[in-house]
Structure 1
């Protein structure tokens, strides 16, 4: 029995999300259909993160088990050809593709063996809207105070009960305590009217919509709607009503999944 680990990237714009759903186009469903053709038998994959509709990924991970003849190094090529429409031509690419294929031990599980994840959230802070960026950024037309956002971010790093950053409707968790190892905010000024802001957050796990609520809370700080210290108060309160709004899915990217604690702890 072979156990294959996939590293996957996708543009989440035209998907209902990662998870397979009846009569809806999902990332999991598209990959499973292609793998079933390539392997000559039904394939079910175990994904690490159940990203929502509109969320993108550069480093989603999923594994599957089975007995099939295709060599490991040919799986990605064959699947990507199908995902791109079977065009089999230079330059053709779909909105989901396999970027790496590895063979793992039989007891390996992509989700349960993960030690942590890194997400990136992208913001376009500009007075003018960018039609071509609408699916890939949170576009904010009022000036953001990035230094205030950085001050607020310091209160999020560490081990806390992050219940205030959890949205209703997700899978019930045994605990809402998580460790955020790092939260960095970078900004690049294009001109006096436009800047790109990127949040990079690394943790041992995330609650439902946690990154999007953290982002929305920091945006509220940047807009002057709340103080940096209010973020600490929100965490201490464990009350969702004390934190900020939920940022839209379009700016969120699952960047990397870690299976090595040393890699996870690198800053």
Structure 2
């Protein structure tokens, strides 16, 4: 996409004055923190050398603009919690090796390679994890929903229950839940309703009328699409990354969308097109946006 190709509707998302933002990128190398201001990608550095699978802003410590003071990180050793307002000093929580993390209200949710799903009250590292149930092949978490090879599972008071679909690769519950699957893109309404055909791998929304999704179209060609408007069955336009890169993670921040590729290229779009920079890592697995006060 060339700069200037963004619709007027989507540009309204980016009207807020640009502030300084940190991106936390997880990878096989560790965790990299990247400073962003507007669409300028600035300093970056490795803040943890532990193999990391996923990262989430702790929503109990945020407002609607994703201003936060902590992140939760799923690593090969444990789920850790770290402050974002200074040196990155992770605190172990005792969950054990994890594949995915998210938040549900103020609580931290984690999924392990063994299928275990558990909740940490108030994301407090000194609290005890509560086992909620199991879900095989956990791929992503968002709020009370779990994306797995078998479909969507929902965390309820009774445990973890199957909630439809199959072969789900990613889920976003910022607004109405949207799921990326190997059979299409789906939005939860009166059941799961298919929005797009294709094989999709990652999805992100801003909780309102805008979203990004990436995967392959019905011909097997890579595609990254953007959505604007109240009708989610229409309003999709091409927003392919430069050089046909494919993101493995997408996330909305205050005034921009961020993407990260498997080989460590971070891209930012403030409404005028993507700007990208390599941050020197490989095997990227996750991305979270933390806006500074």
- TM-score of the superposed pair, with normalisation by structure 1: 0.27
Higher strand fraction (1 or 2): 2
Larger relative CO (CA 8 A, sep 6+): 1 or 2?
A: 1
- TM-score of the superposed pair, with normalisation by structure 2: 0.25
Q: Which protein shows a greater Rg? A: 1
